[in-house]
Amino acid sequence: MSEDIKQQLLIKVGDKRNEYDQENHLGKKIWNESRKMWVIAAPAIFTRFTTFGTNVITQAFVGHIGAIELAAYSLILTVLLRFGNSILLGMASGLETLCGQAYGAKQYHMLGIYLQRSWIILTISTTVILPLFIFASPILRALGQDEDIAKEAGKIALWLIPVVYSYILSLTCQMFLQSQSKNMIIAYLAVVSLSIHVFLSWLLTVKYNYGIPGAMISMILAFWIPNVGQLLFIFNGGCQETWKGFSSLAFKDLIPIMRLSLASGAMICLELWYYTILILLTGTLKNAEIAIDALSICININGWEMMISLGFLAAASVRVANELGSGSANAAKFSVWVTVLTSLGIGFVLFIFFMFFRERLAYIFTTSKDVAIAVGYLSPLLAFSILLNSVQPVLSGVAVGAGWQSSVAYVNVGCYYLIGVPIGVILGYVFNLQVKGVWIGMLIGTLMQTIVLVVMTLRTDWNKQVLDAQQRVNKWFVQSDETCSQSN
C-alpha cells in the first residue's frame, strides 16, 4: 500500500474515531450498539433453532419408521452431514469477513460479486466431498459399523446429497444478508419452511407410509424452500445496492479468496469436530451404553444452547466487520464488548439454571433412573460448557469479522487437540474418571482457547485492524459492470 493511500486511511480512521467519541454518552452508545447487535443476533438465533429443529423433527419421524432406520439416520446425521456442513459453514464464513467489511466501506456492489465467488468455491468444495455420500455404505462397513445399519445409511446418504448442495445457497445467502442487517427475511422463511416440514413429514411418513423416501423428500424441501425465498428476495429488489446481477467479475481473484475460505474452514471445522471426538471417546469406556445415553442428552441440550451462541457469533462478526470496513476502530472495539457481555449474561443465567435442576432435566428425554443419575453427575460440566460457550463463539465471531481465521486455526489446533484431547484421554482412561474425565479434558481445551482469544482481543490494535480491513477491501475492489459502462 502506497504512503499516500495509507495517509488517507489514517485520516479516515481519525475522523471516524472523533465522530464516534463525540456522538453520545455511554448509555446511549450501549443502547445503540445493543439495538444493532440484536437486529442481527435475534433472527440468526431463531434461524439456527429452526434449522436444528428440522433435523430433530426428521429424526423423530424416522424413529417411528424403524430402529435400524433411526440408527442409520442418526449415524449419517452425526458423521457425514455434520462433517459436510462444518466444512461448508467454515468456508462460507470467509464471505462474512469480505461482505461485512465491504459493506462498512460502502463498496456495496462488491457484496454481490463476493457472493457469486463464494457460490463457485463452495460448489467445487461440495463436489469434492460428494464421494463420501455416494460410497457411505462401504465406508461405514470399513469403520466397523453393523452391516444392516451401514446398508440403510448408504441409502439415506444418497437422499441427503441435495441437502448438502442446499448448504451452498443457504449459508452464503444468510451471510450476504446478515452483513447488511437484512436477515429478518431469513427468519420468516425459516418459520414457513419448518411448518411445511412438520406437515409433510406427517403426511408422507405417517398417513401415506412412504417411509425413508417420504421423510427425506420433506427434509430436502425444508432446506430448499428458504433458498428459493432468499434468492427471490435478493434478485427482485430486496438488495438493490448490493446485488447488481450476475457478473463475469465473479471469476476474478478466486485463488486468494479460496485461501481465506480454506483458513475459515479450518478454523470452524476444528471447533465443530471437537465435541464429536468426545462422543467417540466415550463409546470406548466402561458402561458405554449409559454413558453415551447420558452424554447424548447433555450434548443435545448443549446443542440447543449453542444455537444462541452461534447467533451472537454472527452478530459479532458482522458488527466488527462493518465497523472496521467503515474505518471506525473504537466502534468496532465497543461492539466486541457489548456483544461479549450480553452473551455472557445469558450464559450465566443458563449456567445457574442447569446447576440447579441437574438430573431433573434428564426426565424430559428418558425414563431411566440410571441415565438420569448419570446426567446429574455430568450436569456441572454441562453448565460450565454453556458458560464457556457464551464467550468463546463470540470471540470466534470477532476473529471472522476481523479476518484472523488463519491465526485462530493454529490456536484451535494447539488448545483443542494438543491440550484438551490428550488431557481428556489421560483423565478418562489413566485416572479412570471415565466420561467425566474426558469431558473435563475437553473443557480445559476450550478454556485455554477462550483465554487465548481474550488475550488476542485485549491486545488488538484496532486502528491497525481498520487499516488491514481497508487494505483488504481495496485490494479486491473492482468496478461494477454498471460503472464501467457509464465511464465508457
- What pLDDT shows up at residue 320? 94
Residue 484 confidence (pLDDT) above 50:
no
**3-class DSSP state for residue 8?**
helix
Cβ-based neighbour number of residue 469 at 10 Å: 30
Look at residue 352 and tell me if it is in a domain.
yes
Look at residue 486 and tell me if it is in a domain.
no
d(CA 237, CA 240): 5
Domain count, the chain: 1
DSSP code at position 208: S
Could you give phi then psi for residue 182, rounded to 5 degrees?
Answer: -115, 35
**64 or 229, higher pLDDT:** 229
**Among 79, 48, 73, 45, residue whose Cα is nearest residue 59:** 73
Look at residue 329 and tell me if it is in a domain.
yes
Residue type, 229: G
Q: Which residue has the cell 429488489?
A: 237
Q: What is the pLDDT of residues 419-477, one digit of tens each?
A: 988 998 899 888 888 778 888 988 999 899 999 999 999 999 999 999 988 888 887 77
Cβ partners under 8 Å of residue 423, min gap 6: 440, 441, 444, 445
Q: What is the pTM of this model?
A: 0.85
Look at residue 285 and tell me if it is in a domain.
yes
Q: What is the pLDDT of residues 137-174, one digit of tens each?
A: 998 888 777 788 889 999 999 999 999 999 999 999 99
Cβ-contact 181, 139 below 8 angstroms: no
Q: What is the pLDDT of residues 1-42, one digit of tens each?
A: 444 444 454 445 545 554 555 556 788 899 999 999 999 999
d(CA 228, CA 235): 10
Extract the C-alpha cell encoding 389.
Answer: 460457550
Look at residue 488 and tell me if it is in a domain.
no
Extract the C-alpha cell encoding 384.
Answer: 460450565
Look at residue 487 and tell me if it is in a domain.
no
Q: What is the pLDDT of residues 191-218, one digit of tens each?
A: 999 999 999 999 999 999 999 999 999 9
What is the rounded average pLDDT of the residues 342-348? 94
Helix, strand, coil % in the chain, rounded to nearest 5? 85, 0, 15
Look at residue 29 and tell me if it is in a domain.
yes
Range of the domain at 320: 3-481
Q: Which residue has the cell 441437502?
A: 163
